[in-house]
Amino acid sequence: MKALTLILLIFFTAGREAKIFGRCQLASVLKSNGMDGYRGIHLDDWICLVHHGSGFDSELVTSRKNRKIQFFGIFQIDSHWWCDRKQGYSANLCKRPCSAFLDDDLRDDIACAKKIVLGRQKMNAWDNWQINCKGKNISEWTSNCKFDFYDSG
Ligand X SMILES: *[C@@H]1O[C@H](CO)[C@@H](O)[C@H](O)[C@H]1NC(C)=O
State the minimum distance, in angstroms, from the CB of residue 40 to ligand X: 17
Nearer to Ca ion, 100 or 125 (CB): 100
Nearer to ligand X, 5 or 137 (CB): 137
Nearer to ligand X, 13 or 137 (CB): 137
Binding track over 117-146 against ligand X, x by CB under 6 A:
--------------------x-xx------
Backbone φ, ψ for residue 77 (5° rounding) = -75, 135
- DSSP H/E element including 2: helix 2-15
Residues that bind Ca ion (CB under 5 A): 100, 103, 105, 108-109
What 3-state class would DSSP assign to 29?
Answer: helix
State the minimum distance, in angstroms, from the CB of residue 124 to Ca ion: 24
Say which entry of Ca ion, ligand X, none residue 108 contacts (CB below 5 to 8 A, set by partner kind). Ca ion
- Give the span between the Cα atoms of 138 and 135, in whole angstroms: 8
Say which entry of Ca ion, ligand X, none residue 140 contacts (CB below 5 to 8 A, set by partner kind). ligand X
Which of 120, 35, 36, 125 minimizes the C-alpha distance to 82? 125
- Give the span between the Cα atoms of 104 and 65, in whole angstroms: 27
- Give the span between the Cα atoms of 96 and 36, in whole angstroms: 24
Query: Which residues contact ligand X by CB under 6 A?
Result: 137, 139-140
